[in-house]
Chains A and B, each alone.
Chain A
Amino acid sequence: MARLNVNPTRMVLTNLKKRLRTARRGHKLLKDKRDELMKKFLGVVRENRKEREIVETMMKDVNSRFVMARALMSDTHLEEALIYPKQKVTLEASSRNIMSVEVPVFEFSTEGGGEDIFPYGFAATSGELDGALSALQQVTPHLLKLAELEKTAQLLADEIEKTRRRVNALEYVMIPNLEETIKYIVMKLDENERGNLTRLMKVKDMMLEQAHHYKERQLEA
């Protein structure tokens, strides 16, 4: 692992140690965040799949009914029948916070329709169209639920990916680098200390020699 490019001094050492502590703490927190996000995500995505299956089978039904309706009516008649809708859908979007990820919550309300959603008189239209429309009306809540779940899943997936990258960067780059640099500085400081000690011992020897002239006395004796 690469060592950081720093001066091996005591002050840098203290700073690096502080950074390492922060990095470790951040790593632990992000890891917890990732795990919790994953738990939430798997729940959402399971529901998402279920809802999508429901919607797809229901839409298939709606579409086949529509095909029948279209076969029995002319295009102009069909368009004319549907051109002015009786009910109006308003969508309220609020947001929910999952582990600091903002996800949308959709609520919809219909206006004007009531039980009877058919915007046309029954004289010029076929019965299949009625069936298709009421089937479609039944899918609507599922469609909205699906939208909510799918968006939530997408946003969570994005956040999980980001968090995972951060966790990995801390775990495999930041923390090892800091550890290595700290080790390097400690070694360097220890080495300096040892060098200093031997130098002092040597100087002491030399000074004693100067004061007492041990060698000369040894020769005399």
Chain B
Amino acid sequence: MHKIAVMGDKDSILGFKAIGFDIFPTRSGEESANLLKRLAEEGYALIYITEDAASEIMEEISFYRNSYFPAIILIPGSKGSLGIGMKSVKESIEKAVGADILSQND
């Protein structure tokens, strides 16, 4: 039994409350960093974070990258997709293969 958290600016994440996720609005990068740490310690298995908020705390996020829990997933916020989420997929590919071999396909 695990919990799901959604982090980001309030306007982007309010809707997730109705779905049944726990929402945690943040305003500044520092606040997000502390919150992320707290959520990870409280045993949230899945943390969705808006790209907007994530862009300020990439270091903290990459800290959890190779641990089993929590899975931190970037989602586009109200400002639309910033391409950071896709970039993290590319990073995985580059790490494993040594070069981004999939993006030429499309």
Residues of A at the B interface (CB closer than 8 Å) are 38, 41-42, 45-46, 48-49, 52, 55-56, 59-60, 62-63, 66-67, 70, 78-79, 82-83, 85-93, 95, 102, 104, 106, 108, 110-111, 113, 117-119, 132-133, 136-137, 140, 143-144, 146-148, 150-151, 153-158, 160-161
Q: By the criterion CB–CB under 8 Å, are A89 and B85 in contact?
A: no
B46 at the interface (CB under 8 A from A): yes
Q: Given A56-B81, A63-B78: A136 and B19 within 8 A (CB)?
A: yes
A-B Cβ contacts below 8 A, count: 139
List of B residues within 8 angstroms of A85 by Cβ: 17-20
Q: Taking CB as reference atom, which chain A residue is nearest B48?
A: A143
Q: Taking CB as reference atom, which chain B residue is nearest A59?
A: B76
List of A residues within 8 angstroms of B93 by Cβ: 45, 157
List of A residues within 8 angstroms of B19 by Cβ: 85, 87, 89, 117, 133, 136-137, 140
List of B residues within 8 angstroms of A90 by Cβ: 1-2
- Point out which of A48, A147, A155 has the most chain B C-beta atoms below 10 A from its C-beta: A147
List of B residues within 8 angstroms of A42 by Cβ: 102
List of A residues within 8 angstroms of B21 by Cβ: 89
Can you list 23 contacts pairing A with B, beta carbon distance less than 8 Å?
A38-B96, A45-B89, A48-B89, A48-B92, A49-B86, A56-B85, A60-B76, A60-B80, A63-B80, A66-B78, A78-B14, A85-B17, A85-B20, A91-B2, A110-B20, A117-B19, A119-B18, A136-B18, A144-B46, A151-B71, A154-B92, A158-B66, A161-B96
Identify which of A49, A56, A79 contacts B76 (C-beta below 8 A): A56
